[in-house]
Amino acid sequence: MCSIRKISALFSAVALSVTVMGSNTGDRTVWLDEIDSQGYYVQDWGSPQINRSIAGTPLSIAGQRFERGIGGHAISRMLFDLGGKAHKVTGMVGPDDANLFTTRLEFKIVGDGKELWGSGVMQRGDKAKPFDVDLTGIDKVLLLIDMCDDEFMYDHADWADVRFITDGSDVRAIPVWPQPVKKEPYILTPAAPATPRINNPKVYGATPGAEFLWSVMASGQQPMTYGAKGLPKGLSIDKRTGVITGSVAKKGDYKVTLTAANSLGTDKREVTIKIGDRISLTPIMGWSSWNCWRFDASDEILRRTTDIMHEKLHPYGWTYVSVDDGWEASERTPDGVLPGNANWPDMKSLTDYMHSKGMKFGIYSSPGPTTCGNYLASYGHEMTDARTWADWGVDYLKYDYCSHTQVEKDSSEGSIRAPYDLMREAIDSTGRDIVYCVGYGAPRVWIWGPDAGGNHWRTTCDITDHWNVVQAIGNCQDVCAPATAPGRFNDPDMMVVGEVGGGWGAPKHPTLLTPDEQYAHVSLWAILSAPLLLGCDVEALDDFTLSLLTNSEVIAVDQDELCAPAVKKTVKNGQIWYKPLADGSIALGCFNMDPYFVLWDQDDSEAMQMRDYEFEVDLAGLGFAGPVVIRDLWRNADEVSGVTGTYRTKVPYHGVKFVKITPLAAK
């Protein structure tokens, strides 16, 4: 069974009895599809549809068609003000037949914070379930589509033939979430020193004989000179740029000391170059074109992006610059090669330009006949495409699941996985190290993604810059967290900071996330060991966004070589996430987030956003028997030393306190 989740604070899990009400003179029927939502419905992917499924098809549950209703998608919330004037609500519920996969969900009706009715677990193919729920005396009622603990929103679900019976009064939709109170951005990240500071992760992987490309990545005043002592045979460094190139024939772990020097000083860092079977030993950091440019991305835009990334972000580890969907020509050449369209006149020249700066190039495709954007994809041309990309110098492939359902025999795990195994084989045949993202659309991919050769895999639907979407995606990552390991990462999608929006069909705009939410967003992705992929317009980076992306201590948590799975604990006022780090310390985040929050008290909206929320952390429960040092990662400063027993802190609304906890003896 799915777990009974909390709604706002804790609502009772005891279902109230359901009474069938008789018809009274003066009663009024209010159909769900006729209620003006005024944009109040809150859904964590897509928008609820009136009288059709979220896929735009007729409402259909186990073959039964319905003319009226709302097509939704978990998690979905609809809150209504009844004022005690409604007698009952009736209707039918079930997963819509438009679902591509067999996923599990629940429907719930909650009145004034108490669960009145639940459908139990349902999945595609189940017959529609009726409900007839007594609403006598209920002030506000919530219609909730919930997802099960091991699901990630891959489900279409319908409220069919739903009607409220009232005493003649109207039924009014009201906000489920509060309208955000505007807060000015505030910068916590200290300015980087002018002296050199090397920010490379402490481990890097490549395969024997493959083209090698890595850089000394150091912040500080330019110009710098770079060095790398102990490089394995076959590698050399450009002391002017810090770019390390060549290839290594012999497997092994090579200890290398990187150096960076300018007129103000020198820094060094010991790293391990691992030549073996795995690459991408820490999560990739980079940028992708979709969220900002959609189909308008071009060679020119990526070159400009590369220049800015190289200047402002590469010193902190940001390396990949990728084109998403829409680069493909309208037809293949006679020998089967798929070239770029007019926006991409010379892919090889583009990658050479990126590589000269130590940056890496990513590309996009799908295992079906067409991509998500209906461009030509790789089905039937896997080997040709892999060879083409290798010839161009591609370093990263995002491989979305789109359209493969048109050619696979069924939706079993084996059929879904097969094209990913095939592309992995094709990539391996080229002899080039290409980071492989098993892309969006494949359910429970973390179970089979590692065996299919994925370096990371999309665990969720597409992200948008709405807090309910960001935290719903992040909140569920504990389900797949155990799959995390060096070279194997869960991908909760791109980060939505900065100026975003073009890829969602809306004009570009500053992210809708508040400053507190952005700190929480970046912190959670870091503690999850998630790929850090930007989707913003880097030409519009402001000081605040830049400070989010250049905090070396926060980035170090994401890039920690242990790659330990993060652990989530639900506590009063939110969640605590933590993971062990390679140096014996623990990274911990206290997050004020509740994906099932409901604004029952509409008058409390502004006040609750202005207060701080208390968190308590049991240090012994984390394995600390003696005193510890608590370091504030965003401020790059020790907060307190000698703490034992319990760590107490306060967190702003939808914000985070992100710390590193180290035994005092180790300091």
**Domain containing 653 — which CATH number?**
2.60.40.1180
| Domain enclosing residue 325, as ranges | 285-564
Q: What is the CATH number of the domain that holds 524?
A: 3.20.20.70
346 and 204 in one domain? no
Question: To 5 degrees, how large is the angle CA 495–CA 498–CA 499?
Answer: 110
**Total of domains in the chain:** 4
Give me the pLDDT at residue 652, please. Answer: 97
Do the beta carbons of residue 133 and residue 90 sit within 8 Å?
yes
CA gap 401, 629 in Å, rounded:
46
In this structure, what CATH number is given to the domain that contains residue 118? 2.60.120.1060
Say if residue 347 is in the same domain as residue 459. yes
C-beta of residue 551 within 8 angstroms of C-beta of residue 627: no
Q: Are residue 403 and residue 299 in the same domain, yes or no?
A: yes
The closest alpha carbon to 351, from 309, 303, 420, belongs to 303
Higher pLDDT, 20 or 667: 667
Q: Which amino acid, residue 234?
A: G
Give pLDDT tens digits for 491-536. 999 999 999 986 666 688 999 999 999 999 999 999 999 999 999 9
Residue pair 155/74 in contact (Cβ under 8 Å)? The answer is yes
Return the percentage of the chain with pLDDT > 90, whole number: 82
Q: What is the C-alpha to C-alpha distance for residues 554 and 525, in angstroms, rounded to an integer?
A: 10
What does the DSSP assignment read for 528-592? TT--EEE-S-GGG--HHHHHHH--HHHHHHHT-TT-PPPEEEEETTEEEEEEE-TTS-EEEEEE-
Q: Would the pLDDT of 183 be above 70? A: yes
**8-state DSSP, 3:** P
Residue 10 scores a pLDDT above 90: no
The residue count for the chain: 667
pLDDT band, very low/low/confident/very high, at 151 (cuts 50, 70, 90): low
What confidence tens digit (pLDDT) does each residue in 234-270 have? 999 999 999 999 999 999 999 999 999 999 999 999 9
In terms of domains, do 380 and 474 share one? yes
Beta bridge partners of 172: 81
One domain, residues 491 and 398: yes
291 pLDDT above the threshold of 70: yes
pLDDT class for 154, splitting at 50, 70, 90?
Answer: low
**Are residues 506 and 588 located together in one domain of the fold?**
no
Domain membership of residue 10 (yes or no) is no
User: Are residue 405 and residue 305 in the same domain, yes or no?
Assistant: yes
Q: What is the pLDDT of residue 2?
A: 56
Q: Convert the pLDDT of each residue in 40-81 to its tens digit.
A: 888 888 888 999 999 899 999 999 999 999 999 888 999 999
- Whether 16 is covered by a domain: the verdict is no
Whether 51 maps to a domain, the answer reads yes
3 state SS of 499: strand
Give the whole-angstrom CA distance, residue 657 versus residue 448.
Answer: 34
Cα–Cα dist 55/33, whole Å: 17
Place of tokens 């603990």: 149
In a domain, 452, yes or no: yes
- Residues 6 or more apart whose Cβ sits within 8 Å of residue 231: 237, 244, 254, 256, 273
One of 97, 267, 400, 560 is an active-site residue; which one? 400
Same domain, 50 and 159: yes
CB atoms inside a 10 Å sphere around CB 355 = 17
Average pLDDT value for the chain: 92
Buried b (16+ CB within 10 A) or exposed e, 639-657: beeebeeebebebbbbbbb
Q: Does residue 515 fall inside a structural domain?
A: yes
Flag whether 4 is in a domain. Answer: no
Provide the sign of the torsion angle of the four alpha carbons 457, 462, 467, 473, taken in this order.
negative
Distance, in Å, from the CA atom of 318 to the CA atom of 536, rounded to the nearest integer, reads 14
CATH number at residue 208: 2.60.40.10
Based on the residue annotation, tell me whether 158 is a catalytic residue of this protein.
no
State how far the Cα of 615 lies from the Cα of 607, in Å rounded to an integer: 19
> Residue 22: its pLDDT value, please?
44
Helix axis angle, 515-527 to 467-475, nearest 10° = 20
Cα–Cα distance for residue pair 413/359, rounded to 1 Å = 35
Active site residue 400: yes
Same domain, 551 and 622: no
Does 149 fall in a domain?
A: yes
Last residue of a domain, which of 564, 587, 603? Answer: 564
Q: Determine contact, residues 286/322, Cβ cutoff 8 Å.
A: yes
490 versus 3: the higher-pLDDT residue is 490
Residue 3 has pLDDT above 50, yes or no: no
List 395, 462, 491, 560, catalytic entry: 462
pLDDT higher than 50, residue 15: no
| 354 and 455 inside one domain | yes
Listed residues 275, 310, 342: the one ending a domain: 275
Query: Cα dihedral angle (585, 590, 596, 599), rounded to 10 degrees?
Result: 180
Q: For residue 422, give the DSSP letter.
A: H
Q: Please tell me whether residues 314 and 294 are part of one structural domain.
A: yes
Identify whether residues 219 and 170 lie together within a single domain. no
State the Cα–Cα distance between residues 369 and 85, nearest whole angstrom: 54
The answer as to whether 320 is a domain residue is yes
Task: State which of 501, 534, 564 marks the end of a domain.
Answer: 564
